Amino acid sequence: MTKTLIIDGQTIPFEEGQTIMEAATVAGVYIPHLCHHEGFTPHGSCKLCTVKVNGRACTSCTFPAAEGQEVVNNSKALNDDRRKITQMLFVEGNHLCPGCEKSGNCTLQAVGYHLNMLDNHFPHFYAKRAVDSSHPDVMIDHNRCIFCTLCARASQEKDGKDVFAISGRGITKQLIVNSPSGLLKDSELDVTDAAAHICPTGAILIKRTGYQIPIGERLYDHHTIDEISFAVSGSRPSTALPPSVAVESEKD
Query: Does 90 reside within a domain?
Result: no
Are 64 and 24 found together in one domain? yes
Domain containing residue 30: CATH number? 3.10.20.740
Query: Does 236 reside within a domain?
Result: no
Query: Does 44 reside within a domain?
Result: yes
Are 46 and 144 found together in one domain? no
> What total number of domains does the chain contain?
2
Query: Does 2 reside within a domain?
Result: yes
The CA dihedral of 183, 186, 190, 193, to the nearest 10 degrees, is: -60
Query: Does 29 reside within a domain?
Result: yes
Are 123 and 203 found together in one domain? yes
Are 196 and 106 found together in one domain? yes
Q: What's the predicted TM-score (pTM) here?
A: 0.90
Assign residue 105 a region (left: φ > 0; alpha: ψ between -120 and 50; beta: otherwise).
alpha
Domain containing residue 141: CATH number? 3.30.70.20
Are 117 and 173 found together in one domain? yes
Identify the domain containing residue 54 by its residue range: 1-74
Query: Does 248 reside within a domain?
Result: no
Per-residue pLDDT of the chain (252 residues; tens, 9 = 90+): 679 999 999 999 999 999 999 999 999 999 999 999 988 999 999 999 999 999 999 999 999 999 999 999 999 999 999 999 999 999 999 999 988 999 999 999 999 999 999 999 999 999 899 999 999 999 999 999 999 999 999 999 999 999 999 999 888 899 999 999 999 999 999 999 999 999 999 999 999 999 999 989 999 999 999 998 888 776 665 545 554 444 444 444
Judged on CB neighbours under 10 Å (0-12, 13-18, 19+), 23 is buried
Query: Does 230 reside within a domain?
Result: no
